[in-house]
Amino acid sequence: MRGKNLLLAVVLVSTQVSAQSIVETTINGWSSKTSDYVKNHFQASYHGEINAVRHDIDSENKNEQKIKDIKIMHNPTLIYKPNENWQVLATAEFKFSDQDSASAGASFPNGFYRGLTTLTRKNILTEESNGIKLDVGVGRRQYNTGREQQADGKFPLSSYGNNRIFTTISKTKGAHSGSLFVQLLNNDYKKATASTWKNALEVIPTLNLQLTDRLSYMFNDDININSPKFNNTARDVSITHDMNVAFLNFQWNDKVGTYYQFKYLHNEGFSKDFQSEDDSFAHYVGVSYAITAKNAVTAEAGSDLFHARDGRKLFAKNAVYPELALYLDFAI
């Protein structure tokens, strides 16, 4: 009898061990498949900016002209690609500043500032088959209008956000490449004023040239053509430019790169008075260090170089007051 009981006990233990092994193998299999799916279909990244800015260059007090204020932006992004032809992107900006509202404005609410979600159909055309690559997408930009901007709430955001449809055409030839981004936007405004835009066309041509093994050149121009909400404005459209006239990058090795950036900016409103239009040039120098292939740190210094409306004949007022920035980029 004891032999039968012992045999039964051995069978039961063996069965339990076998069942446990099957469960563990199944769980490990699911875990491995889940891990592989996340790795192959999801991308997460973070871009951070820390800007050291001057308190007030117009002040007669030299102490107020020094770098005393900080502006910080956190920009996490998550991308999901169910397959090679579809992409869902979600990104958000959180902005903080120790400046008052008059200096920081509505774009630094000391919290969530805005978010963007897009759905993109990629590879509608491919370079292999069509000579160019074509992507098309839709998206929604959402602003934080429910939070007081800064402590005193002086500068509430006037827009809930905007809806958009966009396309990107790109072409690569050897080490060089070019692209054209075109986007139509409709503004979902909270409070309309004379400067409120209703519809906009955004066009961004980009050119990348590999001049030598180490030296590259990039040009692009972010052009916005806006129509007004109201029909009684002096201008039927307003046009803005944010142009990288030259972005020169020299890669010393696989870790360290340095760059010089020369920008042109043009802004105009829907009125035709002197104050509604402005032109300026700015320049920046920076050094970037790649910790890994996906993680980098960049230090930058720069300032306005020429400014049309600052009362100076040649160089801008703040040309001798450069400001500093630190950029952090991480991806998994």
Higher pLDDT, 240 or 102: 240
d(CA 215, CA 281): 23
Residue 330's pLDDT is 96
More confident residue, 23 or 28: 28
Q: Residues 48, 52, 56, 58: is their CA dihedral positive or negative?
A: negative
Q: Which domains does the chain have, with CATH numbers?
A: 48-331 (2.40.160.40)
Q: Which residues contact 285 (CB under 8 A, 6 or more apart)?
A: 258, 259, 260, 261, 300, 301, 302
More confident residue, 125 or 17: 125
298 Cβ contact list (under 8 Å, min separation 6)? 286, 287, 288, 289, 326, 327, 329
Pick the range with the lowest mean pLDDT from 89-98, 281-290, 317-326.
317-326
pLDDT value at residue 151: 43
Buried b (16+ CB within 10 A) or exposed e, 102-124: eebbbbbbbebbbbbebebebbe
By the 10 Å C-beta count (0-12 exposed, 13-18 middle, 19+ buried), 7 is classed as: exposed
**4-13, 41-50, 81-90, 159-168: the lowest-pLDDT one:** 4-13
Residue 104 vs residue 66, higher pLDDT: 66
CA distance 95 to 107: 7
Express each pLDDT in 33-90 by its tens digit: 888 888 899 999 999 999 998 776 666 777 776 877 899 999 999 999 999 999 999 9
Mean pLDDT for the chain?
85
The string of pLDDT tens digits covering residues 233-259 is 888 899 999 999 999 999 999 999 999
Q: Taking the model in full, what pTM does it have?
A: 0.85
At residue 191, the pLDDT reads 76
Taking residues 272-297, what's their average pLDDT?
89
